[in-house]
A and B are shown apart, each in its own frame.
Chain A
């Protein structure tokens, strides 16, 4: 009786470890489903939306300007942030609001990206903590699953004028 229970427990632990490892490999190297929270990417991504993220682009260093990425938060290492890539290395970034009389600008250093949320008024992003190292990017979001009224590929940035690098 005891041997039967022990055998069953070992089998259960074995299956859990095996499927846990398969899940880790899938999330790390392919992609997964992510739930986003916070208002910083409105209107593109609302609070509690469920999106699909893929990690292949990051491993092949193919992140482009305009991609929405998930990255490790520079302020809190245990959480992730979800922002749009505004500038890659070498790009000129206009800092502060366009209404400033003297526009100040800076260049994104090599190996870093400049992230901004779509909801510029309510987003803590690179304007607050500076350029983010490329190594902190975890994956790229490209498809929204929930809510069903917004099902489909994600829209371009509503702040299109931010992308100029001249």
Chain B
């Protein structure tokens, strides 16, 4: 009897010890380094979700690369939605601060991206809630940059003017 009780106690102790190591390390890794997520919606077709609602893409979201909020033109990034802070949206960075963008459906034909902001657009123009709707987004709302797991290479950018 005493032998089996000792066994249970040792098991619980080992479990707690492992738990307090595994959970914080895993949570810190998912927050600071990278995590995996499923993409929903059609705003980035055909680069992401080309199959529509039949098959959602699974992507690797890399936080470590954007820990200093440095993104390049052409990156696909995930950012906190400016209209709804509970949601994250995945769009492509079209222009960085200082660039002049030719907009599609925005109230101004040409927009200069202010300091500390970026211009993001979905690849599926017209079916995308992006900077053409809400204007330039703050670069500090960018949370992750995407690394695709499969599917075709992403296409080239729309033409834009770059101001050095």
Contacts and interface: CB of A to CB of B under 8 A. Distances in A.
B is bound to A? yes
Interface of A: 17-18, 20-22, 24-25, 28, 61, 72-75, 77-78, 109-112, 133-136
Contact of B85 (A18, A24, A135): A135
Interface stretch (B47-55, B75-83, B120-128, B155-163): B75-83
Interface of B: 20-21, 23-25, 27-28, 31-32, 68-69, 80-86, 115-116, 138-141
B140 to A, nearest CB: 5
B65 to A, nearest CB: 15
B86 A61 contact: yes
A22 B20 contact: yes
A104 B80 CA distance: 30
A33 to B, nearest CB: 19
A77 B139 contact: yes
B28 A20 contact: yes
A18 B139 contact: no
B24 A25 contact: yes
25 contacts: A17-B25, A18-B21, A18-B24, A21-B25, A21-B27, A22-B20, A24-B27, A25-B24, A25-B28, A61-B85, A61-B86, A72-B140, A74-B116, A74-B140, A77-B69, A110-B83, A111-B82, A111-B84, A111-B85, A133-B80, A133-B141, A134-B85, A135-B80, A135-B85, A136-B140
